[in-house]
Structure formats: structure tokens, C-alpha cells
Amino acid sequence: LSPDDDYPDFVIPLAQAVAAGTIERGVAVCGSGVGASICANKVPGARAALIHDHFSAGQGVEDDHMNIICIGGRTVGPSVAWDLVQTFLAAEFSQAPRHLRRLSKVAFLDFQPMRTPR
């Protein structure tokens, strides 16, 4: 990577592929992970989160059906990042009724035009 690389050039196609079902899950990395998370979540069907701990890496999938993990390349070391990705990939969505109910409420927003406050 170089300073001229822009994370949206990588994250948008990744999020589109996940949302389309071409790939099941994705891993996005930028300096802090924040930009990658914001960018990925603009794609309907992408459920991305900035993760820096093992609990959230698994719980994000199990409870919230997270399908893209975002990691800060400048904030998380390589060995921790590897462990977070392994936890993310090993986790499975629980399909518990309460999580399905919540997920449907969030997914509904993917297809709603946003209103500007007056």
C-alpha cells in the first residue's frame, strides 16, 4: 500500500461482494478501521463493525450477523489482527428470535430513503 491508496477503492467492492453473496464475509483494514467501517456500512446489506477485541469479533457475528470485520492497521498489531479475524470467521450467527427480530429492523433501513431533518 502507498499513501496514494484510498480505502474506499478496496472497501466498496468488498462490501458489494459481501452484500451480493459473492463472498460470505470480508475483512477491511485502514489506518484506524473507522473509515473502512463507515464506507462499508454505506452499502445496503453490509453489516460492518470496527473490532479490536475478541469478544466483539465473535459476538458481532453471533448476535448481529456482522459480515465485515474492520480493523485498524495502525492500532492493532498483526498477531492480534490475525486472532480477531480467526474469531470472526469461526463465529456463526445464532438465529435466536430476538436477534432475527432486531436484524430485520436494521435491514429495513437499507431500503428506506433518508430524510433530512427540517
Q: Which residues are known to be catalytic?
A: 30
* 58 sits in which H/E element: helix 54-64
Question: Sign of dihedral through CA atoms 52, 55, 11, 48?
Answer: negative
Count CA within 13 A, CB hemisphere, residue 19: 17
How many CB atoms sit inside 10 A of residue 110's CB? 12
CA angle 61–63–67, rounded 5-degree value: 30
Give CA angle at 89 (88, 94), nearest 5°: 75
